[in-house]
Amino acid sequence: MCALHRCEAHLLGSVQNALLLFYLTFKSKLQFEFSCKYIAFFPFRNFFVDLQRKKSSFFMHLYRFYVKYLSIALILISILLPIQQAKSQINTDRVMSIGKNALYFEDYVLAMQYFNVVIGAKPYLAEPYFCRAVAKINLEDYVGADADCSLALERNPFIVSAYHCRGVARLNIGKYEDALADFVKGLELDEYNSALTTCKGIAYVQMKKYEEARKAFSDALHKTTNKGPIYIYRAKSNIMAGDTVAALDDVEKSLALDKYDADAYAFRGMIRYLKKDFKDAVADYDEALRLVGKRADLYVNRGIARYEMNDLQGAMSDYDAVVALDEDNVVARFNRGLLRMEVGNWNGAEQDFAHVILVEPDNDMAIYNRGIIRSHIGNYKGAIEDFTNIINEYPDFAQGYYARAEAKRRRLDEKGARLDYNTGYVLEHKQKEEKQDSLKTRKKKDKSIKKYNRLIAADPEDEQRRVAYKTNYRGKVQNVNAEITLQPNYIPSYYADKKEVGGVAYSLFVKHVEQTYKLPRQLYLVTNTEKLSERQVYEHFESIKRADSKNGWVDKNKLLARALDYASVQDYAAAYDDLNAYVQIDKNEPFVYFFIAEMLVMKYKALGDGDENAMMKSAILKLALDNYELCERLAPDFAYCYYNEANVRVMLKDYSEAIVKYTKALTLSPDLAEAYFNRGLTFIYTNKNDEGISDLSKAGERGIYSAYNVIKRYSENKK
């Protein structure tokens, strides 16, 4: 591996730099409407510094008040008014203004809800599609951003920013030639646009056309007074071309313009590290940390430079500082684990690698290193388990066989040890020696098991994961690690789940049930019921007690009401019994079959995740499917039944039929976000990642914020 390999941790930011450049350009143009006048804000970096100093807290509070109460009003309008009436009464200019406010303050998911309203009312407008694309690109939904920009340009082919945005989205999904074409088209409309010219240079870098990239960056320097960042971009292209002298010269020019640019010092530190000037590299990282305070990637890379200088104590203190900032930081934990192994702190090293594996269960290098540690401290059984996992994943990894052979020998398994040793010996001599680079680091994304003992160089883009507000629905929600699991079934309940984005399902069918059976409370379909208060639980038990006192009654209305009471207090078996009693009286109520199926699913979940009772659990789910089908025959337009049935089919691993049912649900209810999310996951389960990511994008667009984290993770896996 050449010197370029090491610097890619920093250079990976090139595509993200294009994103930042687009966002800076777009954001600085936004104006935000408050009650009676427009206020133009400064470009966002300076503005947020002011916010942190509480100089602009009035506007932040005003914004939050404004968005909060207009959000409520808007949602009420869209729910309570008939669709055509709502469309006619929506002030789309006002809604667009609120959406832009949300976009500026990084409430991307909320912003999309406003743009969706405008698109629903006036689908011929280009601007809401473009603004929704900006929200998506900040959520790293690049496929969705590409599609929305295309829709905007279909309606108005002269929006320069849309070409810019689409180009950046295409850069991030590897469509470099298409991205370049967008930047060129944008420059045809605005030839003096320095941001587009810079992005053109970044596209050339990704296409490995370094000379064209340098020309583009040089051209961009003539189009702007803000030259510092462009010198850094050109320095990166020089590094990729192998010209560290020119790269260093460009960084010096950038620092001459702005001696307080921490990123420029960090980049110069990286160049000096490549030149093996470790002392000056450490000095640059020192200065960067002095300017920006505690930042994980700077500590990690300074730790690596210190390690090269044999300053093991200094390197260890840097990794300790990162773990103090973020205990789940995989890079720092991994590097500290290697360092602890080197100094003989085996127990501490095992703890670090165990934590890495807890955060990233498929981190093979951590598993292998833990195996080495376990073998050293006498846990041979655990070591053999770790080495076996690695050998199963990498059957040609000779060192793995040698390590397992030694662990088996110490457990007195001479036959197994001899077999592993011979296998390793054959592999080692069959494989040609690979030329290794002299550096002792690797990128985090470099998964070569042969580099198990290398320190990881930090990527600033991976480390700077800070969300503007402390809520999972705001900011860069794609960086909030979400558990990858299906959205739950819709179940009948008296209690609505309180979502910040989106709401409970509204169904005329369920409304009909509520009115027909004269239920004592309003009935909802929800994916998550709120926890009942002590008083609410008492009320349901009293209702059940009153029903029990009427011995011998067989009123089907009261059976259904009592079943809902039982379900509310989580006595699903009793609810199931009442619903079966109902069916003996009336076999033509589709809602009851739907309700029975949900009680069966609850019974299935109560049996737990183990393999015991596997046949019973499978039978329960198949019985639930029978009830869904009965409901569908009687109510063929009830979308939520098809959705729930699809979820159960996924549980049974019947993925093809699940996709059919999700599709049917979406045909009946095109905005059913959970169906898009779950169909997207099901596509991914069947190795159809493109279709899956497209569906997840639609789910995110409709308010399921966790879709963006899943998109990000599976997009990275594709890369």
CATH of the domain at 561: 1.25.40.10
Contact 410, 382 (CB under 8 A): no
536: left (phi over 0), alpha (psi -120 to 50) or beta: alpha
Partners of 33 in the beta sheet?
38
**Model confidence at 719: pLDDT above 60:** no
Q: Token digits for 448? A: 């070569």
Alpha-carbon dihedral sign for residues 89, 94, 96, 99: negative
Query: For residue 470, what pLDDT is reported?
Result: 30
Q: What is the DSSP string of 451-473?
A: GTTSEEEPPHHHH----SSSSTT
Alpha-carbon distance of 5 to 68, in angstroms, equals 48
Which segment, 365-369, 441-445, 614-618, is predicted with the most confidence on average? 365-369
**Model confidence at 452: pLDDT above 60:** no
pLDDT tens for each residue of 658-678 = 999 999 999 999 989 999 999
Asked if residue 124 is part of any domain, the answer here is yes
List the alpha helices (DSSP H) in 472-570: 508-516, 534-548, 556-568
Query: For residue 79, what pLDDT is reported?
Result: 43
Comparing 238-242, 423-427, 457-461, 551-555, which segment has the lowest mean pLDDT?
A: 457-461
Alpha-carbon distance of 372 to 384, in angstroms, equals 9
Query: For residue 21, what pLDDT is reported?
Result: 59
Asked if residue 484 is part of any domain, the answer here is no
pLDDT tens for each residue of 387-437 = 999 999 888 888 899 999 999 999 999 999 999 999 988 888 776 555 445
Report, in angstroms and rounded to the nearest whole number, the Rg of the chain calculated over CA atoms.
30
Q: Which residue, among 328, 332, 308, 339, has the nearest Cα to 318 in the 3D structure?
A: 332
Asked if residue 233 is part of any domain, the answer here is yes
Query: For residue 540, what pLDDT is reported?
Result: 80
pLDDT tens for each residue of 556-593 = 888 888 888 888 877 888 889 999 999 999 899 999 99
438: Cβ contacts below 8 Å, ≥ 6 apart: none
pLDDT tens for each residue of 595-608 = 999 999 988 887 76
Query: For residue 16, what pLDDT is reported?
Result: 58
Domain count of the fold of the chain: 3
Same domain, 426 and 316: yes
Same domain, 502 and 458: no
Asked if residue 55 is part of any domain, the answer here is yes
Query: For residue 502, what pLDDT is reported?
Result: 43
Comparing 39-53, 64-78, 220-234, 501-515, which segment has the lowest mean pLDDT?
A: 39-53
Q: What is the DSSP string of 246-265?
A: HHHHHHHHHHHH-TT-HHHH
Query: For residue 542, what pLDDT is reported?
Result: 81
Alpha-carbon distance of 332 to 322, in angstroms, equals 6
pLDDT band at 440, cuts 50/70/90?
low
Same domain, 438 and 562: no
Q: What is the DSSP string of 18-46?
A: HHHHHHHHHHTT-EEEETTEEEEPPPHHH
Query: For residue 633, what pLDDT is reported?
Result: 94
- Of the CA atoms within 13 Å of residue 246, those in its CB half-sphere come to 15
Q: Token digits for 360? A: 């990233």
427 alpha carbon, distance to own chain's centre: 39
Query: For residue 496, what pLDDT is reported?
Result: 74
**Helix or strand holding residue 526 (H, E):** strand 524-526
639: Cβ contacts below 8 Å, ≥ 6 apart: 507, 664, 665, 666, 668, 669, 672, 675
Asked if residue 242 is part of any domain, the answer here is yes
Same domain, 122 and 269: yes
Partners of 34 in the beta sheet?
37
* Amino acid at position 296, single letter: A
Where among 418, 443, 463 does a domain terminate?
Answer: 463
Same domain, 190 and 266: yes
pLDDT band at 109, cuts 50/70/90?
confident
Mean pLDDT of 167-188: 94
Query: For residue 455, what pLDDT is reported?
Result: 56
Place of tokens 């503007």: 468
Contact 477, 706 (CB under 8 A): yes
**Helix or strand holding residue 31 (H, E):** strand 31-34
Alpha-carbon distance of 258 to 264, in angstroms, equals 9
Comparing 94-103, 196-205, 477-486, 524-533, which segment has the lowest mean pLDDT?
A: 477-486
The DSSP output letter for 36 is T
Comparing 195-204, 230-239, 510-519, 576-585, which segment has the lowest mean pLDDT?
A: 510-519
Alpha-carbon distance of 234 to 254, in angstroms, equals 10
Mean pLDDT of 85-89: 48
Mean pLDDT of 128-136: 93
Q: State which residues form the domain around 181.
A: 3-295
Same domain, 347 and 259: no
Mean pLDDT of 489-517: 70
Asked if residue 472 is part of any domain, the answer here is no
Alpha-carbon distance of 264 to 291, in angstroms, equals 11
**Model confidence at 370: pLDDT above 90:** yes
Query: For residue 373, what pLDDT is reported?
Result: 94
Same domain, 386 and 527: no
Asked if residue 628 is part of any domain, the answer here is yes
191: Cβ contacts below 8 Å, ≥ 6 apart: none
Comparing 16-20, 368-372, 468-472, 600-604, which segment has the lowest mean pLDDT?
A: 468-472
pLDDT band at 536, cuts 50/70/90?
confident
Q: Token digits for 450? A: 């042969």
Structure-model confidence comparison of residues 301 and 70, the more confident one: 301
**Average predicted confidence (pLDDT) for the chain:** 79
Torsion of CA 83, 87, 88, 92, to 10 degrees: 170
Same domain, 570 and 607: yes
Mean pLDDT of 6-24: 52
**Model confidence at 39: pLDDT above 80:** no
Same domain, 496 and 402: no
Alpha-carbon distance of 281 to 12, in angstroms, equals 20
pLDDT band at 164, cuts 50/70/90?
very high
Alpha-carbon distance of 665 to 655, in angstroms, equals 15
pLDDT tens for each residue of 285-332 = 999 999 888 888 899 999 999 999 999 999 999 999 999 998 988 889
Query: For residue 504, what pLDDT is reported?
Result: 59
Same domain, 520 and 547: yes
pLDDT band at 485, cuts 50/70/90?
confident
Place of tokens 């051209």: 219
> Is residue 53 packed enough to be buried (19+ CB in 10 Å), middle (13-18) or exposed (0-12)?
exposed
Contact 337, 349 (CB under 8 A): yes
pLDDT tens for each residue of 379-400 = 999 999 999 999 998 888 888 9
Query: For residue 481, what pLDDT is reported?
Result: 44
Mean pLDDT of 467-496: 59
First-last CA distance in the chain:
19
Same domain, 381 and 291: no
Same domain, 660 and 704: yes
- Any idea how long the chain is? 719
Where among 463, 483, 502 does a domain terminate?
Answer: 463
Contact 566, 575 (CB under 8 A): yes
Asked if residue 237 is part of any domain, the answer here is yes
> Is residue 65 packed enough to be buried (19+ CB in 10 Å), middle (13-18) or exposed (0-12)?
exposed
Where among 239, 263, 295 does a domain terminate?
Answer: 295
Q: What is the DSSP string of 388-421?
A: HHHHHH-TT-HHHHHHHHHHHHHTT-HHHHHHHH
Say what percent of the chain tops pLDDT 70. Answer: 75
Contact 676, 699 (CB under 8 A): yes
